[in-house]
Amino acid sequence: MADKPKLSMYWAAACGGCEIALVNLNEKILDVDAAFDFMFCPCLLDTKKKDIEALPDGAIAITLFNGAIRTAENEEMACLLRKKSQTLIAFGSCSAEGCIPGLANFHTRDDLMKAVYLDNATIDNPGNIIPRPETEVAEGTLQLPAFYDRVRTLAQVTDVDFFIPGCPPEPHQIWNVVSAVIAGAPLPPKGGVLGAGRSAVCEECDRKKEDKKIAKLFRTYELVPGKEACLLEQGLICMGIATRDGCGALCPKVNMPCTGCYGPPEGVLDQGAKMVAALGSIIDIGDTKGLAEEEIFRRIDAVFGSIPDYAGMFYKYSLPGSILKGRIS
Amino acid sequence: MTADKTVRGDTAFEPKIIGFLCNWCSYAGADKAGTAQSPYPPNVNVIRVMCSGRIDPQFVMKAFEQGADGVIILACHPGDCHYKEGNYRAAQRYRLLLQLLEPFGIERERCRFDFVSAGEGDKFVQVITEMVETVRALGPLIIPA
């Protein structure tokens, strides 16, 4: 038992879906257990933080770190696990690029606190109490981890060896990585992406792709798409064109447009900006010959006007990892 | 690059603006302004691209991230594109990009798109002057560390 390499998994600002994805290895979880001493995972096991602190540095072979860095506690655990692990893997979209918790970066911390603790319709908070790092009570000082101004990715607070993208990573891809490690297969250079492709989701999508000319954009609920043609060509905003492949194009296969959970493809810095580039080249505003310049702008705006929140849509998974990382003022 | 930034309203603030100019029309328009020795503010750092359709919205994001207070994209007039429709693509990307910049807290005036032909040296001077004054009034764009 003691001879087996140690495997740990930790969650920071995350939903728990990454742990479910690991458990979704199903019977192969037994192979994981046979190859590793799975010794730390607050979602599934009872090991405590002090047990990790007691380990010598580098004692854990692999840590799968899921979740973004939202609080001081998240950062503390990230740095602790970095120190104790030989290989630290940013596991899942939250730790790789910020994901849903990262959308908070479009707002200030004060706005968030106000929305969640004061303005929410279902909140009854007559004392206007907002969580603070320190609160004085009769018994002494109560402490909570500090809530940072911005959500950060794991790589923005500590050194990361590899990234496994996805919200959550697909079990077959987790298995690809785990089995490669068990077999001792060579890993890519440090900083590389594991368990995913390098190209776009379109590469794995079987839908028929033709010349794209979109005259009207639809929201998902407004249209029952045809089963054959590319969803983007039908006017649904499918993010597959600006999203890394590796998932097997699961969503387009069941008539749902890709929302971009595998993050930007290799070499792309900003998924949202790339989606703007892609959509900008396939919008058809009709015959523009001889039209005034203002009329051209008006037509473009009319096509784009049917979608309410492009930023939220295009940066659903990648805001803290994008070029600007969030609201700047 | 942020070292020379001063507080909003400070008269010492000189906006730093990145201009993406199409090779065939707008860059030639800028050249025309230069040949005519028309004075215009020196705040725009011009980057010549083969076509405004080449301007990846990532370039604009990157410019803001690296310390630009404004970005200006100048393209051929509709119908004049050397590659037939690159300027339409650029216009479409620009209109969509504006919607993306707003939630980042970047005022839409900081990113301007206009059409300048090879003969329009005067329009180049006018557009650049307006842009510099607009951004000067907005103040510096400060990106948090």
Give me the total of CB pairs closer than 8 Å, taking one residue from chain A and one from chain B: 104
Give the residues across from A89 on adjacent strands. A64, A162
Contacts of A288 in chain B (CB under 8 A): 78, 88
Tokens 């004060």 appear where? A110
Q: Are A204 and A197 in contact (CB under 8 A)?
A: yes
Q: Which residues in chain B touch residue A270, judged by CB atoms under 8 angstroms apart? A: 57-58, 61
Q: How many CB atoms lie within 10 A of CB A271?
A: 27
- Bridge partner residues of A193 (DSSP): A163
Distance CA B130, CA B124 (A): 10
Q: Which of A149, A272, A280 sits opposite B92 (nearest CB)?
A: A280
- Interchain CB contact of A329 with B (< 8 Å): yes
B112 inside 8 A of chain A by CB: no
Q: Is there a contact between A47 and A40 (Cβ–Cβ < 8 Å)?
A: yes
Tell me the per-residue pLDDT of A168-221, one tens digit each, with 9 for 90 and over. Answer: 999 999 999 999 988 989 989 999 999 999 999 999 999 999 988 999 999 999
For residue B52, the number of C-alpha atoms closer than 13 Å in the C-beta half-sphere is: 35
* Distance (Å) from the alpha carbon of A273 to chain B's nearest alpha carbon: 5
Please, which contacts does A186-190 make with residues 24 or more away whose CB atoms are closer than 8 Å?
A187/A162, A188/A162, A190/A161, A190/A162
Cβ separation A296–B142 shorter than 8 A: no
CA B78 – CA A285 distance, rounded (Å): 13
Residue-wise pLDDT for A32-80, tens only, equals 999 999 999 999 999 999 999 999 999 999 999 999 999 999 999 999 9
**Residues B62, A323: C-beta atoms closer than 8 Å:** yes
A311:B99 CB<8 A: yes
pLDDT of residue A4 exceeding 90: yes
Q: What is the pLDDT of residue A212?
A: 87
Partner A, chain B 73-102, Cβ-Cβ below 8 Å: 77-79, 88-97, 99-100, 102
**Partner-chain contact B103 A327, CB within 8 Å:** yes
Q: Where are the alpha helices (DSSP H) in chain A?
A: 17-23, 29-35, 49-53, 72-84, 93-97, 99-102, 109-113, 171-182, 250-253, 271-280, 293-304, 310-314
Confidence band for B8, pLDDT divided at 50, 70 and 90: low
Report ipTM (2 d.p.). 0.92
A77 with A52: CB under 8 angstroms? no
Report the residue of A279, A291, A328 to disrupt the B interface, i.e. the one with the largest count of B CBs within 10 Å: A328
CA distance B53 to chain A (A): 9
B-chain CB neighbours of A293 within 8 Å are 77-78, 115
Residue B2, pLDDT above cutoff 50: no
Question: Rounded to 5 degrees, what angle do the CA atoms B98, B102, B103 make?
Answer: 135
Mutating which of A157, A271, A324, A327 best tests the B interface, going by the most B Cβ atoms within 10 A? A324
- Of A169, A207, A108, A192, which Cα lies nearest the Cα of A317? A169
pLDDT value for A239:
97
Block residue for tokens 């725009």: B44
pTM over 0.90: yes
Is CATH 1.20.58 the classification given to domain B17-138? no
B11 falls in which pLDDT band (50, 70, 90)?
Answer: low
pLDDT at A298: 94
Task: Give the nearest chain B residue to A320 (CA atoms).
Answer: B104
Question: How many residues are given for chain A?
Answer: 329
A121 CB within 8 Å of a chain B CB: no
Q: Label residue A127 by pLDDT band (50, 70, 90).
A: very high
Mutate to test the interface with A, among B49, B84, B89, B95 (most CBs of A within 10 A): B95
What is the pairing mode between strands A147-152 and A69-71?
Answer: antiparallel
Q: Check B64 against A324: CB less than 8 A apart.
A: yes
The residue assigned the tokens 């609920």 is A221
Instruction: Measure the CA–CA gap between A104 and A304, rounded to whole angstroms.
Output: 24
Contact yes or no for A280 and B64 at CB 8 A:
no
Of chain B, the percentage scoring pLDDT greater than 90 comes to 90
Domains assigned to chain A: 6-100+151-193 (3.40.50.700), 108-148 (no CATH), 201-314 (no CATH)
Taking an 8 Å cut-off on Cβ atoms, the answer to whether B99 and A300 are in contact is: no
Q: Which two tokens stand for residue B107?
A: 């005022």
Share the mean pLDDT of chain A: 95
Q: Which two tokens stand for residue B56?
A: 């990846």
pLDDT band at A114 (very low <50, low <70, confident <90, very high): very high
Burial of A34 (0-12, 13-18, 19+ CB in 10 A): exposed
Identify the pLDDT of residue A209. Answer: 94
Helix residue ranges per DSSP H, A98-204: 99-102, 109-113, 171-182
Cβ-defined contact of B99 to A310 (cutoff 8 Å):
yes
